[in-house]
Structure 1
């Protein structure tokens, strides 16, 4: 079952992507966000998602980055855009520090401006 929160998350990611990237790149980022959003989840998935988001925002270099997080059975997907490869790697490292994360699919795009 798709919840309102899931729909809002996908729409927000899509809007951010189209606001900061060329249309072709934005379309691929929006598709990645839709493909990686779990349809069903439980409290552990929601807690993992929240904790990963908090870990990313806690990093001062990532606080202004546009990163969406989804989690399903310990597998975390990061999607969005950052300014350089270092930010992409920092986001992955931050996600890896969260208890319960078993794997990370880093679909973050680097868009240098």
Structure 2
């Protein structure tokens, strides 16, 4: 089967035209891909910077929190010890009150009030 010469010329022209158009699309897409790659890299750097700042802030906050906990814990232990001492004193006074009589009993009641 022979293809007429005119048809061959038309198909060749269409092929060349499509080749130019497709090449242009490839170049345009390549540029867009490169631009997107640069934007992604820039965003990656920004994310890394933000992560570093966040880690630093967390470390500072953690240090402050640990310090506050240590201070609060020491104060709580001191107060608890005071409460226990007062409790022991009051318990001893109550025990004496049970067996005391007369003037001593009045004195103990005043001290417990």
Q: State if a TM-score over 0.5 links the two structures.
A: no
- TM-score category of the 2 structures, normalised to the smaller one: under 0.3
Higher relative contact order (CA 8 A, sep 6+): 1
Higher normalized helix content (fraction of residues):
2
Higher normalized strand content (fraction of residues):
1
User: When the two structures are superposed, what TM-score results if normalisation uses the length of structure 1?
Assistant: 0.19
Q: Which has the larger radius of gyration?
A: 2
